[in-house]
Amino acid sequence: MSPEARRRRERFVIAGLAFACLVAVTLFLTVGARGSWSFVLAFRGTKVLAMVLVGTAIAVSTVLFQTVTANRILTPSIMGFDALYALIQTLLVFGLGAAATSTLDPRLVFAVEVAVMVGLSTLLYRWLFSGGLGSLYLLVLVGLVFGTLFRSISGLLQRLIDPNEFVVLQDRMFASFNAVDGSLLAVSSAAIVAILAFLARRTGRLDVLGLGREASINLGLDHRREVTIALVLVSLLVSISTALVGPVTFFGLLVANLAYLAVRSHRHAAVLPAAALIAILALVGGQFVLERVFRFDTALSIVIEFVGGLVFLVLLVRGLNR
Cα 177–Cα 253–Cα 269 angle in degrees, nearest 5: 100
CB-based contact 92:161 (threshold 8 Å): no
At 2, is the secondary structure helix, strand, or coil?
coil
* C-alpha 67: how far from chain center: 15
Q: Per residue of the chain (322 residues), what is the pLDDT tens digit?
A: 677 778 888 889 999 999 999 999 998 888 777 767 777 777 788 888 988 999 999 999 999 988 988 888 778 877 777 788 888 888 888 888 777 777 777 788 888 888 888 888 777 776 766 555 456 677 778 888 888 888 898 888 888 888 877 777 777 766 666 667 777 888 889 999 999 999 999 888 888 888 887 888 888 888 888 888 888 888 889 888 887 887 777 788 889 989 998 888 888 889 999 999 999 999 888 888 887 777 666 667 777 777 777 877 777 777 655 5
pTM for the whole structure? 0.86
Q: How far is 228 from 248, CA to CA, in rounded Å?
A: 23
| Contact status, residue 28 vs residue 287, Cβ threshold 8 Å | yes
| CA dist., res. 226 & res. 233, Å (int) | 11
Does the domain at 3-321 match CATH 1.10.3470.10? Answer given as: yes
Residue type, 37: W
Q: Is 187 exposed, middle or buried (0-12, 13-18, 19+ CB in 10 A)?
A: middle
Every domain of the chain and the residues it spans? 3-321
Contact of 125 with 62, CB cutoff 8 Å? no
Going by C-beta distance under 8 Å and a sequence separation of 6 or more, which residues neighbour residue 238? 57, 58, 61, 76, 77, 79, 81, 117
Cα separation values, 94 from 40, 165, 315, Å: 37, 8, 39
In eight-state DSSP terms, residue 73 is: T
Q: Give the CA count within 13 Å in the CB-facing half-sphere of 281.
A: 20
